[in-house]
Amino acid sequence: MDNKMKISRRRFIQLLSAFLYNANLRGMGEGKIYKGSGKGICVPGLNCYSCPGAVASCPLGSLQTALTNIGSKWPLYIIGTLMLFGILFGRAICAFLCPFGLIQELLYKIPSPKINKNRWTRRLSWLKYGILLVFVILLPIITLMQDKVAVPAFCKFICPAGTLEGGIPLALLNENIRNIIGPLFNWKVFLLVVILAAAVFIYRFFCRFLCPLGAIYSLFNRYALFGITVDEGKCTKCKSCVRSCKLDVYYINDRECIRCGECQKSCHFDAVSHCFNKKQTGKEV
């Protein structure tokens, strides 16, 4: 199968996962959040619990919620779920199974000047780890200790997927919610607009610089079962795969590699391919 077919297959998987995550069509019509048994399960990608169509939970939201009980029990279920996703796929989840990543990729197709990766974008790619530490872990625990009520800080103050998939649809469809909109909602809409606008000029802006879920999965990237492998017998170490990548990678399967397979198009020696449970490249080619 040629590279164009492989890329189109990835797009199909992205669209399919977005539909399956948000298959509650009735909720989307009524502006009501589904609260059935499926919400006890986490999807791999960033998809808001409060989206009227969502049939399952977001792993980041679940992690922050689980931290509310950290004094009495450890959030073993959600930690185990994140580890399972990470060990199986690493950041391939970002490329194949994240609806918000798909939205950013489509926005990047809008004709405009583009800002390519450089030393500054590589430095900024570390910012998402700070957001993970501060907004996903520390602030919920600190507010729980001080006020006895944990604040899911990332979901409350930052998450653009939550605003786009949950906040805005619910406000449009539910009059009661429209009546209680305040400055916080306005802030999140403003932040969403900034992030979506940036995605037009910078490939996967949110994923690269701000997404704490991508930061978590990146910790498993070099060791995940599904990844990219390089045939050392065919590879000439020309590094065209790394140079052509729009992400801030230094080598295939490093922490910024999302295993999208785009690098296969730039390899003239057919040395790069997806693999499952095989030896992956974990060093500079």
Whole-prediction pTM: 0.91
> Facing residues of 124 across strands?
none
Separation between Cα atoms, residue 198 and residue 189, nearest integer Å: 14
CB within 8 Å of 276: residues ≥ 6 apart: 225, 226
Query: Worst-scoring range by mean pLDDT, 155-169, 181-195, 247-261, 262-276?
Result: 262-276
Per-residue pLDDT tens digits for 151-210: 899 999 999 999 999 999 998 888 888 888 899 999 999 999 999 999 999 999 999 999
The mean pLDDT of 249-265, rounded to a whole number, is 91
Query: Worst-scoring range by mean pLDDT, 124-128, 179-183, 218-222?
Result: 179-183
Find tokens 């998402």 and name the residue: 128
pLDDT of residue 58: 95
Q: Which CATH number fits domain 227-276: 1.10.101, 3.30.70, 3.30.460, 3.40.50?
A: 3.30.70
Portions of the chain given CATH number 3.30.70: 227-276
pLDDT of residue 98: 97
pLDDT of residue 283: 52
Instruction: Report the DSSP pairing between strands 272-276 and 226-230.
Output: antiparallel
CB atoms within 10 A of CB 114: 11
Label residue 1 by pLDDT band (50, 70, 90). Answer: very low
Per-residue pLDDT tens digits for 63-96: 998 887 776 678 889 999 999 999 999 999 999 9
Do residues 204 and 246 make contact, with C-beta atoms less than 8 angstroms apart?
A: yes
